[in-house]
Amino acid sequence: METLVSKDEVRRAVAEARAVGQRIALVPTMGALHEGHLSLVRAAHERAEYVVVSVFVNPTQFGPGEDFEAYPRDLEGDLELLEAEGVALVFAPATATMYDPGATVIVDPGPLGDVLEGAIRPTHFRGVCTVVAKLFGIVEPDLAFFGEKDFQQLAIVRTMVRDLDLPVRVVGCPTIREPDGLAMSSRNVYLSPDERAAATVLYRALRAAEARMLAGERDARALVEVMRAKIATEPLAVPDYTEVADAVTLAPLDALDSSPARALVAARLGSTRLIDNLALEVG
Ligand code: PAF
């Protein structure tokens, strides 16, 4: 496994792999890797011969007062995990390498970036789109792998690729959960033992909405109420949003029909903000 910090070195290494006919997959990460990330790497191995993982805590997707400084970093541990997964190349640039001090262009995520997470973190998806577009430009992958845990991010990246005609296929992969249902996230390490126990309420809320749908409920607002009521049973959880939305446009739904819908929740447990989501599939 090669670990490179310069864009030119990455371009050279990827060009060599492509020259011998290898398909290139990219798994973009911010490090502090867990089983969720490793599941993306494994999915990438199924579809490509040359797997690149980027490890970069992207400052432009953190707003003022968010956890950029505190975000967990463990490059050494990450490299061990990625080596064991048979990754070909890790790109771990410094911030000054990734963002030239003279750079002024950013990528606007469009209206999908204004709702849900975007309503609470107004500059977040601009930072995500900009860094992901840059990674696509540096690595030029055939395929790029993203987790459904960040469902809105996945929808926005797909839209960016479509709207900017970027020559990459975006692959979404299922959320990986702890045995008690908590979605794996690098931010789970912030939780105190009490908050960790309470954090399962996000998944319990999603499952309660799913159960109500399976029992025949088609009123999306009623399902939102089911999730709100469930989160309200957990005093340590402060909800940010609970929504049932179209899975492609993320527009809030009034009623479920045969088109794909998604239940999405965000809540604070102490100073930690967690998000989760679940497909709601009628019939
Ligand atoms: O999902 C993440 O870890 C980040 O948002 C990403 C896609 C690596 C961009 O920094």
Helix/strand/coil for 177 = strand
The pLDDT tens digits for 99-135 are 999 999 999 999 999 999 999 999 999 999 999 999 9
Neighbouring-strand partners of residue 91: 4, 54
Question: 166-224, pLDDT tens digit by residue?
Answer: 999 999 999 999 999 999 999 999 999 999 999 999 999 999 999 999 999 999 999 99
Q: Which of 39, 61, 185 to mutate to test the pocket of ligand 1 (most atoms within 8 A of CB)?
A: 61
The DSSP element (H or E) to which 50 belongs, if any, is strand 50-55
Taking the C-alpha atoms of residue 185 and residue 117, their distance in angstroms, rounded to an integer, is 16
Residue 24 falls in which region: left (phi positive, over 0), alpha (psi -120 to 50) or beta: beta
Does 58 sit in the ligand 1 pocket, CB within 6 Å? yes
Residue from 52, 145, 153 whose mutation best tests the ligand 1 pocket (most atoms within 8 A of CB): 153
Q: What is the per-residue pLDDT for 283?
A: 73
| pLDDT 10s digits, 6-29 | 999 999 999 999 999 999 999 999
Cα angle value 27/29/34 (rounded, 5°) = 100
Structural domains of the chain ordered from first start = 2-173 (3.40.50.620), 186-280 (3.30.1300.10)
**What digits encode the pLDDT tens for the residues 26-74?**
999 999 999 999 999 999 999 999 999 999 999 999 999 999 999 999 9
Q: What is the largest CA-CA distance in the chain?
A: 57
Sign of the alpha-carbon dihedral angle for 74, 26, 173, 168: positive
